[in-house]
Amino acid sequence: MARLVLHIGTHKTGTTALQDSFHANRGLLAEHGIIYPALGAHTGHHGLLTDWLALPAPYRLEGGGIGTFRQLADEIAGTDQTLFLSSEEFSRGGGIGGRVDITQLRDIADRFDSVQIICFLRDQWQFLQSVYVEIARGRVPERPPALIETARNTHMIDGLWCDYGLLYDQLLTGFAPQEICFYDYDSARRGPGGIIAMVLDAISASLAADDLRAVNGGISNVSARALPVWAGFAIAGGHPANAGLFAACETAFDLEFGKERETCLFTRAELAILKKHFAPLNRRLEKRLRAARQSLTIAPTTPGPQTLYREDVTPAFWVRAARRIYLGAGNA
């Protein structure tokens, strides 16, 4: 029985680590009937979505996204194999990047005997903080208060759903409730074997996470700490911040607060606002899924007791940052 498994993210939920692992172990996976194709230079399968989404040119595949997807479907159809595809871009909700045409996706999925969608979700404040840092790699992100207002008013940030019930609605336009499986990211990553173990169990693979060769120590595409990144943009005053500025802020942060200090992009009051807004939406989605005979609890998370919030950044830090910038400019 041919099966299609779509691992659709969401963004910043260990997707790159899983993609790197499955790509490196695709021979072993194939021995167990799980086909994880190597497509292009990236270990994930973003190239399949380039006909739908505005993705960078290096992701493009010679046969096109949809054409390559259909070719893979033709190769697996009629076999007893599982085609496992992974791209967090499947879960994109819109914006300038666009979104996947669910009708066309369903048309391709119909070539398989069964379909399973796997999606990890995380508490929204963590999600927004990670997306902020990711955006910062390429352009100036919104200031944290504006980021919160955008998320509350549009339920989306940078084209990604913050209201996961709306992501569920999007998927339901082409897939049945029993084909859609949501998991809590925080619970999965803390469990034995982490995300990879959860996914292998979800697809009933005859493999354990320990059977797979470890890649990058099981960690890939780790986000930078949020507050040094925010500090760099604060100093740049709305202009792009270069690597030297970020390095100065990172060093100043380490000297003032310690290298291991966790950070929260938001103030305590902002965090409370986010939780008040999104917690009821999460509970509503959980109720809908229970009605569909699925179980999900998006674990509410709170920064640890030693976490530094944005309001805790002291004048001494800014003095240290200024010194690092001064020294970095060759004024030793």
Q: Which percentage of the chain shows pLDDT scores above 70?
A: 98
pLDDT digits (tens, 9 = 90+) for 123-162: 999 999 999 999 999 999 999 999 999 999 999 999 999 9
Name the class of domain 3-124+161-218: alpha beta
332 pLDDT exceeds 70? no
Q: Which structure tokens are listed for 178?
A: 């029993």
Number of H helices, E strands in the chain: 13, 9
pLDDT digits (tens, 9 = 90+) for 270-313: 999 999 999 999 999 999 999 999 999 998 999 999 999 999 99
Q: Are strands 180-184 and 114-121 parallel, antiparallel or unpaired?
A: parallel
330 pLDDT exceeds 70? no
pLDDT digits (tens, 9 = 90+) for 13-45: 999 999 999 999 999 999 999 999 999 889 999
- Please report the pLDDT score of residue 216 as a whole number: 80
Q: How confident is the model at residue 329 (pLDDT cuts 50, 70, 90)?
A: low
Q: For the residues 49-68, what does the mean pLDDT come to? A: 95
221 pLDDT exceeds 90? no
- Residue 150's SS3 state is helix
119, HSE (Cβ side, Cα atoms, 13 Å): 24
Query: What sign results for the dihedral spanned by CA atoms 222, 228, 231, 233?
Result: negative
- Please report the pLDDT score of residue 238 as a whole number: 87
- Please report the pLDDT score of residue 223 as a whole number: 80
pLDDT digits (tens, 9 = 90+) for 64-118: 999 999 999 999 999 999 999 999 999 999 998 999 999 999 999 999 999 999 9
In whole angstroms, what is the distance from residue 199 CA to residue 202 CA?
A: 5
Q: How confident is the model at residue 328 (pLDDT cuts 50, 70, 90)?
A: confident
Q: For the residues 256-272, what does the mean pLDDT come to? A: 96
- Please report the pLDDT score of residue 222 as a whole number: 73
In whole angstroms, what is the distance from residue 318 CA to residue 252 CA?
A: 8
Q: How far is CA 131 from CA 112, 219, 294, in A?
A: 34, 17, 28
In whole angstroms, what is the distance from residue 245 CA to residue 175 CA?
A: 46
232 pLDDT exceeds 70? yes
- Please report the pLDDT score of residue 188 as a whole number: 96
Q: How far is CA 200 from CA 10, 25, 50, 119, 193, in A?
A: 17, 13, 27, 13, 10
In whole angstroms, what is the distance from residue 274 CA to residue 142 CA?
A: 16
Q: Are 124 and 187 in contact (CB under 8 A)?
A: no
Which residues have CB under 8 Å from 170's CB, separation 6+?
A: 93, 99, 102, 161
Residues of the chain with CATH 3.40.50: 3-124+161-218
